[in-house]
Each structure stands twice: as C-alpha cells, then as structure tokens.
Structure 1
C-alpha cells in the first residue's frame, strides 16, 4: 500500500522537493541571503513534512485498506464511514452500485425460477400427448411403422426426461428420498423402456445381480442408470455382444457395472467425458450427441455420494462403474 500511496502522491512530493530545491538554489546564488539559516529552515520544514506525510498516509489509506481486504461480495457493512469528501463519493457510488446489483441479481433469480417452473410445466404438458401417442402406436398393425415410430417416440421421451432432471438438479438435495432400492427391478424397468431400440439394433442384456438392494434415492438412481444404459445401447454396434449389467460386493461396498462392447472411448477423451457439453474428439461429427447425459449423471451421483468411474479401450467397449457409499455415509445426505 505504501508504494501505491507514493505513486498516488508523487506530484505533491515532486512539487515539495522542487520548492525546497529552489529555495536552496536561490540562497546559494544570492550572497545577500545567508545560506546556513535557509538550510536549517529547509531541514525543519522537510522533517515536519515527513511527519505530516506519515500521519496522512495512515489516515488516507485506512478507507482503501478496508476495500482491499473485504471479500468480493456485495456486503459493504464491514467498511467504516469515509473521512474525506472524495472517499464519501467512492463509498456512496459503491453502495449505490451494490444495491443495484443486489436488486438485479434478485430480479434475475426470480426470472430464472419462473423460467424453470414454466419449462417444467411445459415438459409435464408434453408428456400427456406423448402418452397418448404411445397408446396409439401400440394399436398399429404395421410392425415396421410401429417400430420406427416407437424409436422416435423413445428419443423424444429420453430428451424430455433429461431436460426435466437437468432443471431439477440444482435443487436435488430438496428432492432426495433415501430408501432401500431394488437394483434388479430398477434395471429391468430401464431395459424395458429401451426394448424397442434394443430390438431394432439386435442388442441383448446379460444381467447378474449378486447384490439386489442398495440404500439410495430410487428416482435419481434410475436417472443415472438410464444415462449409462442409453449410452451403452447408443454406442454398441448392431448385433454386437450383449450389454452386461452386474452388481457385486467389494469391501462392504456395492458395485454396479454397465459393460458394453461398442466402439469404446479414446484414451485422451476418458478424463473429459463427464465434462459438460463434451462429446468426442474421434467422433466429433456425431450430431446426435449432446454431451449432457454423462455430465448430469456424474452431478447426480456426486450428490448421492456415489462414485462413478469409466474404463475403456477403443474398439473393445466401455465399462461404467457405480460404487455406492456405505449406509452410514448415506445417512449424512439426509442429516439423519
């Protein structure tokens, strides 16, 4: 701060030094003026000026030190009142700006909440005609047409479901309900939803559950599993080997694995596949990928203390692993 204060007051310092130098120069050149007493006066005034300078430094920098040390937020209560008219201008301007930003942030928060509520309401409204469409498709006799329409219906259904959970994710803690969840029935329900797609691609499932129940939130766990299974089906070659879903116990923790035999993931992409919006560097032309499914699954898993990892070899398939927390760790989510 002392260096910046000297830079700020450099014009005053240069002016004072110039005046003192001018007085000494005049006394030195004019023989009628005694040089000794003038030198003594210059010494005394310089000493007084240094004392005054130190006093003003402490007084003038106090206000700015408070600004420098405060947290970068809109709270200005920690700043004491300004001592000078110029400091008062700065303080008033900052308080007005802080109030304006606070009101603006509040307005934007309300607007975002309204937008979220409107979107959620729209999603629920769209689900009604989708349900009606599904019932009409089930009555179709043309199996080829029925399969094609069901596949497109499924794509819309999954996109709406992902959008719904994306909007709910920031408030996920308020929506959690921890209970004993049957992994087997949950998995079969997700496979049943994707049945038409799997039949179209000629892909089957090999399901093996050593552990059938975990302590978790059924709705959000189903969403995570849906993203992993959908990903496995999407990137598996037609008529490829079966997708394996299995659970096991490892050091008192439940492990759930989703293994496909698709195109795999490039090693340079493995560390980025959970990043928001990331699709692929090797398959960048894939316009159907949004880069949101795995990102949302990762975020939801973290909120439930579930560790999600991935291993893959290009051309050999991909394994997603969910490691569930122990029961005492799950209880901390709900504060029990």
Structure 2
C-alpha cells in the first residue's frame, strides 16, 4: 500500500478536519483584537497540523502492516494448498477435461454416423434410380415419336443431376476417395465432351478442339467431374448455334486447358462470385434453373487436388475457363492427401 492509496481511503476524514479548522480560524480571527491574538491563532494552527500529520503517518504505518500481513498470510495459505493439494486439483481438472472431451467425441461420432447413413442412403438411391433411367433409355431407342428428342434431353438432364448428387455425397469425404495415378488429361476432356454431347447437339453448338496431349499425377474421376461441370455450364449459357472452343497450352509452370464459349457471358459484378456456394447470379435466373452448386464443388475439389480454375468473361460476348495443372506439384500434393 502506498501513501497515496492511504490518503485516498482517508479522504473524507481529511476534508472534515480541514473544514473544522477553517471554521475555528474564522471564528477566532473575527474575534481577535490585536496582532498578539493573531500570532496565537497561527501557532495553534501549526500545532494542529503537526498533530494531524503525525496521526496520518501513524495510521498509514499501521494499515500498511495489516495489509502486508494479510497478503503474506494469503500467499502462505496458497503455497500450503499448492504443496498439499496441488496434485489433487490438477487431477480434478484433467479428469473434467477428459470427461468433456469424451462427451464431444460421442457427439461427433453420432454426427458422423448420421452423415454416413444419409450418404449411404443417397448413394443407394442414386444407383436405384439409374436402373430406371437405363430402362427409359431402352424404351426411347424403340420410339420414333417427334417428342422423343425432348424426352431424351430431359432424361440426359436427369442423368447429369443424378451423377452430380452422387459426386456431391462423395465430395465431403473425397480425401478418402482419391486414387492417384497417371492421368491423360486430354482423353478426359474428350470423355467429358461425350458425356455432355446431347446437350450440345440439341442446341446445335459447334465444338472446336485443339488439344496437345499431356499427363499429370492426380485422380482421373475427379478431374473428369470438373470438366463435366464446366462443359455443362457452357452448354446452358451458350445460345443455339453457338461455338465452344477447347484448347491446351503450356508454359514453364503449368499445363492449361482452356474452355471458351461465345455465350451470354457473366456480369462484372458476378464474375468474382461464381465459385461461391449457392451463387446463381443474374444469368442463373434467366432461361435455366441453376443451383449454384456445380462450380462450387468443382472449385472445391480442384483446390484439394492443387488444380487451379480461373474464369474470365465479357457480358454478351464470351466466358472462358482455364483449368491449370501445375507442374511438379501434382504428385506431391495428391500423395499428401492419400498419406
């Protein structure tokens, strides 16, 4: 305790004494008749002030000793408790921490179990519905009705969406579903074109390719999924009779697959958000019912595989996607996921 702290605690007592001294002096000075009485009053004031200062000092020393005694006693008590019961308190805290951790683990396991059950059910549902779609395909082959073209287009849309939901259920656990190997990227591009061929044919979209083959170490199923999502996106927003150009290029750092259409394009306000979850933008509300999930999952998986996806667009002119396969990094990054 400092002297300043003590004076703050005694502030009311000091103020009251000062007021009393001022009142007494006022009365005495008003009744004094000569200089002798004035000097006596001043002498009396000096004595009172000295006595007050001594009292303050004595009180400060006394309270300081009490304060230090309390602090010392508290420290000694804590030291005794720590020395005698320290292990007990530590064990108590560790036991409480373990119980809390076990509780969280139980909740996490229940959550994982629920998610896995939903995933298993969704996967089974997708495989079951694929059987029905296959039967519809067989029936369509026997039909020559003028509406069969539209019917087949709808079937292909259903097939695409069913495959998409199957990939989405796997996407949240795709780090456990990766199979790294040598991938012929241009072969996967052509396979993705065939997968979406009917969408392009129905809109009479011309596809031009200029592909120089190259291989990377990655997972071909997920790369195929990325290409399918981007190509399907192009088929939606490219008008009747449009053109889609697919090419490759290479520099010292990476291989690039460039997919460029002459469709309706993307607004400047939307271009930076097209990979956001659930974002549809202006074009997603025109002419097609977009969920905003296809590009989100494509980009999410690409990031896990250390593949870059860049987009450029001019509204009303074109949209261009660049899929970037970085050299040397593919093997190490994909392998680290599998370890």
TM-score range relative to shorter protein: 0.7 to 0.9
- Name the CA distance, whole Å, in 1 between partners of 2:316 and 2:87: 66
Q: Which residue matches 2:244?
A: 243
- Name the CA distance, whole Å, in 2 between partners of 1:39 and 1:126: 89
- 3-state SS of paired residue (1:116): helix
* Partner residue of 1:82 out of 85, 89, 96: 89
* Partner residue of 2:208 out of 200, 206, 213: 206
Larger gyration radius, structure 1 or structure 2: 2
* Partner residue of 2:168 out of 146, 166, 177: 166
Shift of 1:50: 3.6
5 Å-filtered alignment, 1:1-336, equals: 40-52=61-73, 82=89, 96-142=99-145, 144-240=146-242, 242-251=243-252, 253-281=254-282, 283-284=284-285, 288-327=289-328, 329-335=330-336
- 3-state SS of paired residue (1:324): strand
Shift of 1:188: 2.7
Question: What whole-Å deviation, never above 9, does each CA across 1:193-248 have from its counterpart, x for those lacking one?
Answer: 323222221212001112354443221111000001001110111122x1011112
Question: What whole-Å deviation, never above 9, does each CA across 1:9-66 have from its counterpart, x for those lacking one?
Answer: xxxxxxxx9xx97xx99xx9xxxxx968766543321221243466679999xxxxxx
- 3-state SS of paired residue (2:272): helix
Unaligned runs of 5+ in 2: 1-5, 18-53
- Name the CA distance, whole Å, in 2 between partners of 1:214 and 1:196: 29
- Name the CA distance, whole Å, in 2 between partners of 1:258 and 1:80: 67
Q: Which residue matches 1:76?
A: none
Q: Is the 8 A contact 1:304 1:330 kept in 2?
A: no
- Name the CA distance, whole Å, in 1 between partners of 2:127 and 2:273: 32
- 3-state SS of paired residue (2:161): helix
Question: What whole-Å deviation, never above 9, does each CA across 1:132-169 have from its counterpart, x for those lacking one?
Answer: 21121122111x32211111111111111111111112
Shift of 1:311: 0.7
**Distance change >3 Å, CA 80–CA 294, structure 1 → 2:** farther
Q: Is the 8 A contact 1:243 1:260 kept in 2?
A: yes
TM-score scaled by length of structure 2: 0.73
Shift of 1:112: 1.0
Q: Which residue matches 1:75?
A: none
**Alignment RMSD (CA, Å):** 3.7
- Name the CA distance, whole Å, in 1 between partners of 2:80 and 2:231: 67
**Distance change >3 Å, CA 191–CA 59, structure 1 → 2:** farther
Question: What whole-Å deviation, never above 9, does each CA across 1:232-279 have from its counterpart, x for those lacking one?
Answer: 110111122x10111122225221011011111111212211111111
- Name the CA distance, whole Å, in 2 between partners of 1:306 and 1:80: 53
Q: Which residue matches 1:64?
A: none
TM-score scaled by length of structure 1: 0.73
